Chain A
Amino acid sequence: MKLAMPRITFWKVTAAVFLLGGLAATIVRFGWGLGAATNLTDITPWGLWIGFDVVTGVGLAAGGFTLAGIVYIFHLERFKPIVRPAILTAFLGYSLVIVGLMFDLGRPWAIWHALIYQNPHSVLFEVAMCVMLYTTVLALEFSPVVLERFKLHRALKFVKAITIPLIVLGILLSMLHQSSLGSLYLIVPQKMHPFWYSPMLPVFFFVSAVAVGLGMTIVESYLSARAFGKTLETPLLRDLARIMLGVLLVYFTMRGIDLLRRDALHLLFEPSFETSMLYLEVSLMLIIPLLLFNIRGWGQTRVGLFFTAFSMVLGFVTNRLNVTLTSLESYYRENFGTSYFPSAGELIVTISIVTAGFVLFALAVKYLPIFPEHEEETVLRIGDAPDRSSAPPLEGTPAAELRRH
């Protein structure tokens, strides 16, 4: 193996700049406290770090359980090549959520208290437990990739034997905490704008998480193709996009009915900051993706699918930020005459965490067998189900072939 100077590219420099900025903000956060680093106040105790790094982050990592379910529970085997990247993203996503949480917690060193002082009446306790367990499950689901890489056959065999229970457990945990992130807000009905408060929040959070899991998978697959030349077949992505749009239609129908039942439909026609934010959310999440997908000849090409999914992902981010931040603004404004906007420090930390996600993903794709080398013939196995078909011997797997960077 030859050691060469890594090529310096625009993206590498950008990433380095962001990460350095993040380092500076980290020093302020842990050297001078939350008050110095953030715009959080006694009136606005939760800000961008909870809204984006935690609530949105967990959502964006939903591809892991969605695809594991599609492939292993519904046996739609043709999606198998996508499972690995999806689980990788999920694992990285959850790890970064925990990093984000360490920034936000006032006493991060006490985080393990959640294990011993359990309050079963707290939604946050449930979220904490599920996130912790699910991150472990994801690590196990992802472990075959690493185990294959280092030829640890016995461990590999063990993980493969428990694959299906692991997948089922992962899906159950995801259902619980994806929805619970919405339940967190059930306790403040009077503080939230009627566009986003609903007793149905847990259901909405779960359904939209399924959709964004699919969207993220499409986005990643496109970006990986551009960056590493590793990609997935377009027809597969097209099917994913189709399922995603189907889920979104169900989702927005439910939200429409919910607004109707809560007599809040008329608010849609009253111009306000909140109304514009809702329109932005619906456009990005549903309308633009639907339009793009249906552009003849372009919508279903690789690029078209990318933009369809990318818009959806942006819409999803808008939705989570609307629930966590926008919806509280009118309460702050009317009762305290204040408003919350993240500080430079909060923004930089968030951007660096996202950057770290990209960097780690890139490294993983480079050094581990994540994407199939040759589409079609290659069936990659994430800790495969007890397989009664022609299981190729381990040595012959693409993992072995990939061992040459």
Chain B
Amino acid sequence: MSHAILVDLTLCVGCGACTTACQQVHNFPEKENPTLDDKNFTTIRTVTENESGDEYYVRKMCRHCEEPACASACLVGALTKTKDGAVTWDTNKCIGCRYCMLACPFDIPKYEWSSMSPKVRKCTMCYQERHLTADMELDDAGYVLDASGERVVIEGREITAEDRDTIIELTTNMDDNRASACSVACPMEATVFGERDQLLAEAKRRILESPDDYVPRIYGQKEVGGTSVFYLSNVSFESLGFYTNLENSSYPDKTWRVLEKIPDIVVTAGVALGAVYWITNRREDVKRYEEEIKSKRSKKKA
């Protein structure tokens, strides 16, 4: 089942509960009005609309693209689109080239610039957190173990039984379902976690039922080939600072279209080079042979 997050900006009151919950669940220091960085995965930005002077709150986080540019860019496949819907990053593979950061159309991945063993950091859709369960085994020192018997590490932290319980609490919603910490914390249901198809249907329903309250666009439905975070708004997304110049097709396709031609290019160019070599080589052989005959003849004459 593929998950997604629906952010209804018309409901957001800008309280910042999502940001705080995200910091708590990852054990990051809590900051006032943080920017997106290696220790903060989501922000609330206040935008004042030019014409009306109204204030809007815009939430920023990883979009968990259906076809993530970051994952296609990564040469070692450290970033993966999981079946769960989340796009996750693997510490053990990354070599730190930062191509993912350049490639992301939403400028999401951040870097630990001051670390000597820097990691790429971004919203994980609480992937690991949502998969922590109360019945996971502990080792002698009291740390939670995963199925393969390794200690579970989340954002660089080994998880104790106590941490586990906090995390489970932060990622369990009112219906007793596991959900992202930001959605659990949101008091207005402006951020909802759920199944992608259902959330998309819900977003459509809201627009159809109250066409006056929304602009007729679900940001994230088609952008960059579809994402797993949907936004609804009652003012144009452009005026809120969303990128509106993104194409509705997959970004990884842009490079794959070239890469998939490589076998053909290699074969064609290889044959062409071979042919040129053969022809020019042959030409020289012939020349040499003719010269030999000539010199033999002239010798004979002499």
Question: Is residue B210 within 8 Å, beta carbon to beta carbon, of the partner chain?
Answer: no
Q: Tell me the B63-78 residues at the A interface (CB within 8 Å).
A: 69, 72-78
Determine whether the beta carbon of A107 is less than 8 Å from that of B117. Answer: yes
Q: Sort A-B residue pairs by CB-CB distance and give the 5 closest, nearest first.
A: A106-B96, A35-B113, A75-B280, A45-B101, A125-B75
Q: Which B residues fall within an 8 A CB radius of A?
A: 36-38, 69, 72-78, 93-99, 101-103, 105, 107, 110-111, 113-118, 243, 245-247, 251-252, 254-256, 258-259, 262, 265-266, 269-270, 273-274, 276-277, 280-281, 283-285, 288
Contact A46 to B98, CB < 8 A, known contacts A73-B277, A118-B77, A187-B72: yes
Determine whether the beta carbon of A190 is less than 8 Å from that of B115. Answer: no
Determine whether the beta carbon of A184 is less than 8 Å from that of B276. Answer: no
Determine whether the beta carbon of B95 is less than 8 Å from that of A111. Answer: yes
**A189 closest partner in B (C-beta):** B254
Partner of A119, one of B74, B98, B283, B288: B74
On chain A, which size bracket covers the interface? 35 or more
Min CB gap B109→A, angstroms: 8
State A39–B76 Cα separation when bound (angstroms): 26
Contact A106 to B118, CB < 8 A, known contacts A113-B93, A186-B255: yes
Determine whether the beta carbon of B273 is less than 8 Å from that of A73. Answer: yes
**B90 closest partner in A (C-beta):** A117
State A118–B283 Cα separation when bound (angstroms): 43
Question: Is residue A72 within 8 Å, beta carbon to beta carbon, of the partner chain?
Answer: yes
**Max chain B C-beta neighbours (<10 A), residue from A69, A113, A119, A168:** A119
Since A117-B77, A164-B277, A388-B285 are in contact, a sample of 19 more A-B pairs with Cβ atoms closer than 8 Å, ordered by chain A residue number, is A35-B113, A42-B38, A42-B107, A104-B97, A107-B96, A107-B118, A113-B93, A117-B76, A119-B77, A121-B72, A121-B256, A122-B73, A122-B74, A123-B258, A126-B259, A171-B273, A187-B73, A187-B252, A189-B254
Residues in A neighbouring B281, C-beta threshold 8 A: 75
Determine whether the beta carbon of A42 is less than 8 Å from that of B269. Answer: no
Min CB gap A28→B, angstroms: 12
Q: Tell me the A81-120 residues at the B interface (CB within 8 Å).
A: 104-108, 110-111, 113-114, 117-120
State A35–B274 Cα separation when bound (angstroms): 49
Q: Tell me the A371-390 residues at the B interface (CB within 8 Å).
A: 388-389
What are 10 inter-chain pairs, A to B, with CB distance below 8 A? A42-B101, A106-B111, A110-B95, A121-B259, A122-B99, A124-B97, A124-B99, A183-B255, A186-B254, A189-B247
Contact A72 to B277, CB < 8 A, known contacts A123-B73, A188-B103, A202-B258: yes
Question: Is residue A10 within 8 Å, beta carbon to beta carbon, of the partner chain?
Answer: no
State A188–B256 Cα separation when bound (angstroms): 13
Residues in A neighbouring B99, C-beta threshold 8 A: 46, 122, 124, 184
State A121–B251 Cα separation when bound (angstroms): 12
Determine whether the beta carbon of A188 is less than 8 Å from that of B93. Answer: no
Question: Is residue A172 within 8 Å, beta carbon to beta carbon, of the partner chain?
Answer: yes
Determine whether the beta carbon of B259 is less than 8 Å from that of A123. Answer: yes
Partner of B36, one of A42, A124, A125: A42
Question: Is residue A40 within 8 Å, beta carbon to beta carbon, of the partner chain?
Answer: yes
Question: Is residue A269 within 8 Å, beta carbon to beta carbon, of the partner chain?
Answer: no
Determine whether the beta carbon of A73 is less than 8 Å from that of B276. Answer: yes
Chain A 33-55, CB-CB to B under 8 Å as 1, else 0, gives 11110001111011000000000
**B279 closest partner in A (C-beta):** A75
Contact A108 to B101, CB < 8 A, known contacts A117-B78, A120-B259, A187-B69: no
State A119–B94 Cα separation when bound (angstroms): 12
Determine whether the beta carbon of B252 is less than 8 Å from that of A183. Answer: no
Contact A183 to B270, CB < 8 A, known contacts A114-B95, A175-B265: no
State A143–B243 Cα separation when bound (angstroms): 53
State A224–B169 Cα separation when bound (angstroms): 71
**B266 closest partner in A (C-beta):** A172
Min CB gap B93→A, angstroms: 5
Determine whether the beta carbon of A122 is less than 8 Å from that of B72. Answer: yes
Residues in A neighbouring B101, C-beta threshold 8 A: 42, 45-46
Determine whether the beta carbon of A187 is less than 8 Å from that of B77. Answer: no
Residues in A neighbouring B288, C-beta threshold 8 A: 388-389
Determine whether the beta carbon of A113 is less than 8 Å from that of B270. Answer: no
Q: Tell me the A331-373 residues at the B interface (CB within 8 Å).
A: 335
Determine whether the beta carbon of A42 is less than 8 Å from that of B111. Answer: yes
Residues in A neighbouring B276, C-beta threshold 8 A: 73-74
State A119–B276 Cα separation when bound (angstroms): 34
Min CB gap B259→A, angstroms: 6
State A14–B288 Cα separation when bound (angstroms): 52
Contact A107 to B72, CB < 8 A, known contacts A33-B116, A40-B113, A187-B252: no
Partner of A190, one of B37, B243, B256, B280: B243
Q: Tell me the A165-210 residues at the B interface (CB within 8 Å).
A: 168, 171-172, 175-176, 180, 183-184, 186-191, 199, 202
Contact A110 to B94, CB < 8 A, known contacts A119-B75, A183-B255, A187-B251: yes
Residues in B neighbouring A108, C-beta threshold 8 A: 95-96
Residues in A neighbouring B69, C-beta threshold 8 A: 187
Question: Is residue A247 within 8 Å, beta carbon to beta carbon, of the partner chain?
Answer: no
Contact A168 to B273, CB < 8 A, known contacts A124-B97, A176-B262, A190-B105: yes
Min CB gap A188→B, angstroms: 6
State A74–B95 Cα separation when bound (angstroms): 40
State A118–B118 Cα separation when bound (angstroms): 21
Determine whether the beta carbon of A119 is less than 8 Å from that of B76. Answer: yes
Residues in A neighbouring B113, C-beta threshold 8 A: 33-35, 40-42
Q: Tell me the A115-150 residues at the B interface (CB within 8 Å).
A: 117-126, 128
**B80 closest partner in A (C-beta):** A119
**B95 closest partner in A (C-beta):** A110
**B256 closest partner in A (C-beta):** A121
State A105–B37 Cα separation when bound (angstroms): 19
Contact A128 to B246, CB < 8 A, known contacts A35-B114, A121-B252: no
Min CB gap B92→A, angstroms: 9
Residues in B neighbouring A188, C-beta threshold 8 A: 102-103, 105
Contact A183 to B258, CB < 8 A, known contacts A36-B114, A119-B76, A190-B243: yes
Contact A33 to B114, CB < 8 A, known contacts A110-B95, A186-B258: yes
Min CB gap A62→B, angstroms: 16
Min CB gap A320→B, angstroms: 16
State A45–B255 Cα separation when bound (angstroms): 20
Min CB gap A358→B, angstroms: 28
Residues in A neighbouring B266, C-beta threshold 8 A: 172, 176
